[in-house]
């Protein structure tokens, strides 16, 4: 059973690096679907929406953005079109973090695999 889990982890690790573009596209789609839950992340990373602030239009049913998209955060600032909003989407920030840390993530995954192999032997 542990050997099967080990092989599955190894296969997933390899697939992650081989199909990076597909992983990115799926992540972008998942973020769009989870946009409502994503609201709190915007301000910390100085971004708005998944790809751009307009992503919120379909969610909010009007031409407004969450207050967390405002560069100067205050109550109902997302309803005022004259306010300055973060103009780039948050997906780019997430993608950049994963890209910057993929070797670390891969190393951690490989260490877990090595530990599991050592336990099996």
Q: What is the pLDDT of residue 81?
A: 67
**CB-based contact 69:53 (threshold 8 Å):** yes
pLDDT tens digits, one per residue of 69-110: 888 878 888 887 666 888 888 888 888 888 899 889 888 988
Q: Count CA within 13 A, CB hemisphere, residue 81.
A: 4
Least Cα distance to 35 among 81, 85, 74, 69 occurs for 69
Q: Please report, for the chain, the start and end positions of each structural domain, with discontinuous segments joined by +.
A: 2-120
* Res 43 pLDDT > 70: no
**CB-based contact 57:65 (threshold 8 Å):** no
* Res 39 pLDDT > 60: no
């Amino acid at each position: 059973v542990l050997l099967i889990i080990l092989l599955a982890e190894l296969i997933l690790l390899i697939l992650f690096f081989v199909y990076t573009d597909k992983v990115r596209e799926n992540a972008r789609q998942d973020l769009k679907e989870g946009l409502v839950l994503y609201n709190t992340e915007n301000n910390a990373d100085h971004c708005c929406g998944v790809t751009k602030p307009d992503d919120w239009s379909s969610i909010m049913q009007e031409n407004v953005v969450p207050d967390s998209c405002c560069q100067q955060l205050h109550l109902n600032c997302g309803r005022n079109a004259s306010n300055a909003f973060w103009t780039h989407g948050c997906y780019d920030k997430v993608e950049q973090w994963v890209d910057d840390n993929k070797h670390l993530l891969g190393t951690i995954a490989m260490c877990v695999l090595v530990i599991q192999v050592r336990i099996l032997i």
